Each structure stands twice: as structure tokens, then as C-alpha cells.
Structure 1
């Protein structure tokens, strides 16, 4: 289905330079785009590629546009943030061809009579909805999902196939849970008695806000006594582990294989690169950005970028090395002072 550039700009904004009647059928990368595609430039390093692109139109920033315009022959949509505009454009194209599941409950689904399923919700094949669960308007629960007793799924939230959403858990509006996600498993809580582990019942819940996206095979443990909290707008990639009683602040994003141990409290607008680790019971401030593979072993109380890589060693050796590293700055200043003192004494000796 073709889309006029003029219509796209009317809907999503931006300044169109070129023919508003040009039609595009989809989005493609700079190097692959053809005469029926729109593409985008979000990194100035690729200005040359943009200038040579065969796309019918480009989404560019005001800073990049004058340079790109010197060689690029197509139409241009000038916006403040090309990457965000690209995302909204992609969403719109997807909406034009999206297949919306029909409301209703599939004949093979098992829904407890006491569950409340809104008439506009979609319940797919072999879904199980237990007693007291509430499924909101427009929710989509795909094949093979499990919704535990007294769980709540908000309006417009989408569970892809084979999501497990355990008893008492709550998710707000417009959430997305990808296949294999497990929400509300028991936290890793045990007391040790003479080398024998005694299980601690996990009686809290997982409470998830609005507009949260949780990736495939990601797990979020329920709280031991209080709840595990995932605030609005959080984005979790695939294969992430969130321990019991964690609190993840609004609009924080975590890349694949991040692990967060129990009772960690993470602020708002944070980012975590792939395979970053956070130890339990730590506090991380708002606007903290942790590099991939880093180990957060202490609380971070100031915003900023943090990176920590260190070779594996016996714990006693690692502690000694870490103590030395922490004192390197002070040691350097002492060495500089000693060098100045030695130089002064040497000069005085030579003069005498």
C-alpha cells in the first residue's frame, strides 16, 4: 500500500522538501532503499551513503540536511530526531498491514468462570485463565499463554505465544510480553541451616506499569514479602533476569542478558548494556548508564556513565588488587611530590 509523503508529514510532522505526492511503500536502509522506499539518516558518519541513496525520500536532521542535499536527488523530511521519526514512521507502516486478532475466546481455551475477560479481548488457542483473573479491553493473549489466579492484564496489552503470567501479578496498559517470558516465578530465597537450604515462601507479586516491553525468555521474580516493581515505560530485552523485590524505575532500558539480583533499586531513565550485572540490595540513581559486561558491586548515587571490567581472580587477591587500584590516584600524587623533592635536593647538591 502506497503512502504519500504529504500525508506522512501531516500525520507525523517534519518539514517536507520535495513533492508531497511522491508515494512510498515502506522503509529500507540507506544502502538498500529503492525508488519506492523512504530511508533515514540518524548518524552523521553516514552522510555520504545518504547522499548516494536511491531512496525516494530521506528523513534527516537540520544539521545533516545541507550536506546531504548537495548530492541527494530525492525528497527530504527534516526533523529534530530522525531516529524517533523513523520509529513512528515504521509503526505507521506496520499499522496499515497489521492483522488485528478478532475479539473472543477460542474454543480450546480454558477460562475459569470467575475470571473477567473483556468482550473486546482476544484469547487464543489453549490459553489458560485461572480464577479471579482480569483481562482488560483490547488485550491480546496468544496461543498457549497462562494467566494465573487473580492476575490482571491491562487494556491493550499483548502477550505473545507461551507467556507465563503467574498468580496475583499485574501489568498495566499497552504492555508487550514476548514469547517465553515468565512473570511471577518464585524468587531465589533460601535460609541455610547447617548446609541445608530451607525455602522461604515468596508471597509478594510482580506489579508492572503501563507501556512496558519485556523480551523473549526474560524472567521477573515475584517478591518475597513486598512486591517486585517495574515502573511505566521500562524496556527489557531478551533473556534478562530480574530478582525478587527489585524496583526498576520508569523508562529504564536493559539490553540482553542483564542480571539484577534481589532487592536492587534502580532509578528512572537508566540504561544497561548487554550482560551487565547488578548485585543485590544496591541503589542506583536516576540517569545512570552502565556499559556492557560491567559488574555493579556498589550503589551508584550520582548520574553518569559507569564501566567496570576486571579479570577473574581468587577473591582475596581481587580485593587486594581493587584496593590498590582505588588508591592509584593518591599514589600518583605522592610519587610526583617525591620526584619534585628529589629533583630539588639533586639541584641543590649540584649547586653546592
Structure 2
């Protein structure tokens, strides 16, 4: 792809020779001829004068310092993401069903669907145009998969799961397993509560590797349009996640919590059940959310790390404060 082509697709202003052919992407300080780099964070500006990249995506105020052709754009990071998609497009589906796959006779597959080796597609499943199932995927009965959705290797969809269009699910993810629902009887035994809902996923959602999303107990577990989920996330039954919310790795969300749209949940955060999180909320990494959040903003909990010596001192102070609050003997 030539630099002129990229400029048109990205809506960028071209500075330099538009005939240059771009064949790859690389970091600003390691890119070579024919590779596209980008400058978004000012701390990497020191690498700009000496770059050997074929071209650089940057803002207008950095273009004057750029020794190679530049594509001037207001958001270089977003431009880089779109440029990568243009330079390295996803391979088209290779329509067909692998000889080792098992597809139930009642399943309805568009002729353009690709079903990989050792997949299982259960009764009454519906797969729309452009769907790709990686090797080892399992779809139980009555699953529906929207157009141009791609499942990585060993993805499991339990019965009744609904996926929208252009969904990406990475290897090992499990959607629709039973939620953690048990009722104690008088003898302190646990009685399983049947999980009767489904998992419903909107369009343009991405779900990371080994993430699990439990089916609803009575109503559905719902993942809104444009949601982005990292690896190793646990979403419990009846959770609703609003449109365009992003969740980093190892987040855990307990049952029946509702998270609004355009939220950002940092890695390792834990959210208790039956809470409401407003639109536009950011929860920083490793936070523990124990009550509803009604207003947009940034919320944190937890104690940042310190040296072992300072941490032990802080802990000792906290313990002394606790003893004073309790009126322990010998405390003023």
C-alpha cells in the first residue's frame, strides 16, 4: 500500500513522497525503510529526529521535526490501529467444513462458513455468512452466530448462546456455562438452582482467551455492543455490561451486577454482585467495588506497593490505630 493510499484511507495530511510503498509497521526507534511508525506519546519524541522509518504517523506539531515522510493526523495511535488493519487484513474465510468436524443435520450454515478441524456444531445452530470456527470449537444446541464472527481454537458456546456480528472470541473462552447458583437446605447441603437464561453478545465485541461468561439464572447475561474484554475475565450470571465498555485482564464480576456504557475496568478489579455502575466510570486496577457507583468518574481502592520495610511500618501504624479505636488497655 502506498503512502498516498494510506493518507486517503486514514483522512491524514500527507507530507512527503506519496509513492512510497509501506510493507510493514515497527516502533519509531527500530523501524526501517518501507515500515510505518507512529508518535503519540511525547516521551518518545526523542526518537523522531533519528528515525529510519519509511514514514511516521504524527501530529502537526511533530511533523516539522520528522526527517522522513509524515502522515499528519489528530490521533496517531488511532491512526496506527487503522493503518495496521489496512496493511495486515484478516484472511478471508476458507469456506468449507473440515472432514473431522461434526455438524448436526439440523444446523443451518451459510455456504461461506469455515468450520475447522474437530469442531462440533449441535442441533438447530445457525451460523451466518463469513463465520469462522477455529479448531476444536464446540457449539451446543440452538446457538446463533452472526455474520463475520470469528471463534479461535477451543471456544465453547453452551446451549442457546447468541453472538452478534463481527464478534471476536479468542482461544479457550467459554460462554454460557452454568452460573454459580446454589441454595442451602436445612442440613447445610447445597441444592443446585437450574440456570435457565442465556448469554447474549452484541455486535463488534471482542472476548479474550480463557474468559468465562456464565448464562443467566432466569434472565440473560448480556454483553453490549462494542464491549472489549481481555483474557481471564469472569462474568457471573445475569450480569449486564453496557455498550463500549472495556475490561482488562483478570477482572471478576459477581452475579446480577449492571455496568454502564463507556466504562473502563482495570486489571484484577473485583466487583460484588447486585450493584449498579453508572455510565462513564473508570475503576483502576486491583480495586474492590463493594457498593454501587452512581456518578461517572475515576474510582480506586487498595494500597500501592512499597518496600517491605515501609509496608511493615505502615501496617504497624494501622494496627496501633485500630487498638486505640477499640480503647485497648494502655492506649490513650
Q: Provide the alpha-carbon RMSD of the alignment.
A: 1.7
Equivalent of residue 308 in structure 1, options 272, 292, 301: 301
CA offset at residue 55 of structure 1?
Answer: 0.7
Structure 1 stretches (4+) deviating beyond 6 angstroms?
A: none
Q: Does 1:210 align with 2:203?
A: yes
1:262 is aligned, of 224, 238, 255, to 255
| Aligned match of 1:297 | 290
Identify the match of residue 28 of structure 2 among 27, 30, 33.
30
Q: Per-residue deviation at 1:310?
A: 5.1
Q: Can you give the 5+ residue segments of structure 1 that lack an aligned partner in the other structure?
A: 312-316, 325-352
Q: State how 1:13-28 maps to structure 2 within 5 Å.
A: 13-28=11-26
Q: Tell whether 2:96 aligns with 1:104.
A: yes
Alignment of 1:276-295 (within 5 A): 276-295=269-288
Q: Deviations over 1:87-121 (max 9, x none)?
A: 000011111xx433311111211111111011111
2:149 match:
157
Cα 1:310–1:60 change in 2 (3 A) is closer
Aligned equivalent of 1:88, options 76, 79, 82: 82
- Higher helix proportion: 1
Specify which of 140, 143, 168 is matched with residue 176 of structure 1. 168
Corresponding residue number in structure 2 for 1:274: 267
Residues 24, 56 of structure 1: 8 Å contact kept: yes
| 1:112-136 Cα distance to aligned partner (Å, 9 max, x none) | 1111011111111111011011011
Contact preservation (8 Å) 1:44, 1:64: no
CA distance in 2, matches of 1:187, 1:63: 53
Match of 1:166 in 2: 158
CA drift at 1:79: 0.6
Find the aligned partners of 1:222 and 1:298 in 2 and give their Cα distance: 23
- Give yes or no for the alignment of 1:147 onto 2:143: no
Assess, with a 3 A threshold, how the Cα gap between structure 1 residues 197 and 63 changes in structure 2: closer, same or farther.
farther
Q: Distance in 2 between matches of 1:108 and 1:56?
A: 46
Paired position in structure 1 for 2:68:
74
What is the correspondence of 1:237-256 to structure 2 with a 5 Å cutoff? 237-256=230-249
Mean CA deviation greater in 39-48 or 278-287: 39-48
Query: Which residue of structure 1 aligns with residue 310 of structure 2?
Result: none
Cα distance between partner residues in 1 of 2:68 and 2:246: 35
Provide the C-alpha distance between the structure 1 equivalents of 2:260 and 2:250, rounded to a whole number of angstroms: 19
Deviation at residue 296 of structure 1 after TM alignment: 0.6
Which structure would you say has the larger Rg? 1
| Count of residue pairs the alignment pairs up | 308
CA contact (8 A) 1:133 1:149 kept: yes
What is the CA distance between 1:63 and its match in structure 2?
Answer: 3.9
User: Any conservation in 2 of the 1:126–1:143 contact (CA below 8 Å)?
Assistant: yes
Distance 2:37 2:55 in 1: 6
1:47 and 2:41 correspond: no
1:137 to 110, 129, 134: 129
Task: Note the alpha carbon deviations across 1:153-186, whole angstroms, 9 max, x for none.
Answer: 0000000110001100100000001000000000
**Counterpart-to-counterpart distance in 2, 1:52 and 1:178:** 38
